Amino acid sequence: MPELPEVETIVQELLKAKPKILGSKILDFWTDWKKMIKRPKSLEEFREELIGRQILDIKRRAKNILFFLEKEKVLLVHQKLTGHLLYGKWKKKNKEWEAEIEGPLKSDPQNRFIHFILFLSNGWQIALSDVRKFAKIELLDKEELEKELAQLGPEPLDDSFTFEKFKEAILKKKKGKIKQVLMDQRVIAGIGNIYSDEALWIAKISPFRKVSDIKEEELKELYLAIKKVLKIGVQLHGESISDFRRIDGSRGEFDEWRKVYRKEGEKCERCGGKIVAKKIGQRTAHFCPVCQK
């Protein structure tokens, strides 16, 4: 699932895209998977409230992409497990959408699962590729948006996210295992399987440690590790080991940096131990049992 660095990459690139997206109007939309449009329930109502609105701003909150539209409406896109937004031009060919722009949009097979398209007044389109079709799209007013995001924890890259705030958030889940607590969006927003593994490796903490057993000095190391690995993830445009791609269809570069995620059986570059993968709840933790005690 795209995490904070992947979603932030999408948002930053949409804001910088040429031709410019901000100021464009949404002329139309297409989908072959109505189930991904959660609100409003009626596709006719969704169309009526969406078409003709200008895109004023694009932001991220946790793993959500937020298109702020005129007349106080917000289009929320959550890419879920395998979705990613693309920016380009497509045409229908043999009942499927084919990219008109040469390069990864057309050549990378991960970009061919188009299930939703926004047609913009600048002549370009924003498309959602999602092989498993789990992505969520909602058109909300600001009050509905506030309710939607109310349960989310603080943003770990915000300047206001101090160590004290981190400690306060984490210690609410004293009985939990640290990896699971880090991935709880009500505790901290935006961290998932990839960056929890990497942050815990940097901090030399086992993903199976109970929060109550972690000393304050270790928590400080973990706090710094989270900040570090998320910033690196954003700088390298995310992790594309699986489905995620940037808006031009190209791959992120975090794969070249990762230390433990999906590296089971390989040597830990810090101590030479063998990296293992073990189930923790419904997810898998990747860690070095030698230096992550």
**Could you give the residue numbers annotated as active site?**
2-3, 63, 283
CA distance linking residue 183 with residue 192, whole number of Å = 5
Beta bridge pairs of residue 137: 37, 77
CA distance linking residue 52 with residue 121, whole number of Å = 9
Task: Supply φ then ψ for residue 230, to 5 degrees.
Answer: -70, -40
DSSP state string for 80-123? TTTEEEEEE-EEEETTEEEESSSSHHHH-GGG--EEEEEEETTS
CA distance linking residue 37 with residue 126, whole number of Å = 16
